[in-house]
Amino acid sequence: MRSYTIWSPEYSNFSGGIRALHVLNQELNKRDVISKLHYQSPHNPEDIVLYPEIITDNPLGSQYVSRWLLAEGQVQDLSFQWVNGLGADNNLTVNIIDLDIFYPRTNSKKGVGYWIGKGRKTCDLPDDAVLIHKFEPQDRLALAEQLASFEYIVSFDSFTAINFEALLVGTPVIIANQTGKWDEDNLKKTDWPLFGLTWECEALNTAKREVHNQFEAYKLLCNKFSKSIDEFIEITQKNYQ
């Protein structure tokens, strides 16, 4: 069996994509498959290399290239996609959200939070709306508590882990504009649960009623992730025998 090199920056709490690359490396090692992140040790030229979508060339010069489309990107080489709709033939998803931290809260909620992320602010917000910062709080538990404190969140980024983390703690999310290819139709074509997510302010009350279904639905989805990792190993090993 060939071992793996995963191209990734050093770990960061603030990037769902980076968390995904690190989690995949851990999951491979749990299966007794030799895998490492490229910055940790010299690259073995016989390794299967996995590049995230932001790397469009082949900086490690590997003969055995696979690519992971995490949000957008172009299909090339042997490609895997985070969710349905990115164009790859194969899915590969890992759980990047700690469900011991991001779970429904029963606390009282007040005020509005907003997230810009990869998007841009395109509409007016309540005067007391609170910006959710990308690089703070440093602690994931503190982030979960902050998300859980709001009555609802307005997100200007339609495809981001923050949206799903908010839903998991019981806070509905209004998508204020669509980023990249992730409009309402494309998001609904994925198999991810969207309880509590809405594109219309008028539907906020419905989102509030439904958001607490998100946690259990997401746990069910996570059951599929392990199979996708096993299939990733099978497909890449067969392709690069």
pLDDT, tens digit, 9 for 90 and up, residues 89-99 = 999 999 999 99
- What tokens were used for 67? 């690519």
One domain for residues 123 and 204: yes
Paired with 80 in beta bridges are 68, 90
One domain for residues 116 and 192: yes
One domain for residues 124 and 189: yes
Q: Please report the DSSP string for 134-186 in residue order.
A: TT--SSHHHHHHHHHHSSEEEES-SS-HHHHHHHHTT--EEE-S-BTTB-HHH
- Residue 234: predicted pLDDT: 98
Cα 52 to chain centroid, rounded: 13
Q: Which domain holds residue 92?
A: 4-96
One domain for residues 54 and 146: no
One domain for residues 124 and 72: no
One domain for residues 123 and 196: yes
Residue after which a domain boundary falls, among 48, 64, 96: 96
Q: Residue 143 domain-assigned?
A: yes
Pairwise CA distance, residues 82 & 91, whole Å:
6
Compute the mean pLDDT over every residue in the chain, rounded to the nearest whole number: 94
Residue 66 clears pLDDT 90, i.e. is over it = yes
One domain for residues 90 and 124: no
- Residue 98: predicted pLDDT: 96
One domain for residues 119 and 215: yes
Domain count, the chain: 2
- Residue 67: predicted pLDDT: 98
Q: Residue 23 domain-assigned?
A: yes
One domain for residues 127 and 202: yes
Q: What is the pTM of this model?
A: 0.92
Q: What's the mean pLDDT in 157-176?
A: 96
Q: Residue 236 domain-assigned?
A: no
One domain for residues 133 and 212: yes
Q: Residue 209 domain-assigned?
A: yes
Q: What's the mean pLDDT in 178-189?
A: 86
Q: What's the mean pLDDT in 180-205?
A: 92
Q: Residue 101 domain-assigned?
A: no
Q: Residue 25 domain-assigned?
A: yes
Residue after which a domain boundary falls, among 67, 96, 125: 96
One domain for residues 121 and 208: yes
Q: Residue 48 domain-assigned?
A: yes
Using a 10 angstrom Cβ sphere, with 0-12 exposed, 13-18 middle and 19 or more buried, the burial of residue 79 is buried
Residue after which a domain boundary falls, among 46, 62, 96: 96
Q: Residue 238 domain-assigned?
A: no
One domain for residues 75 and 22: yes
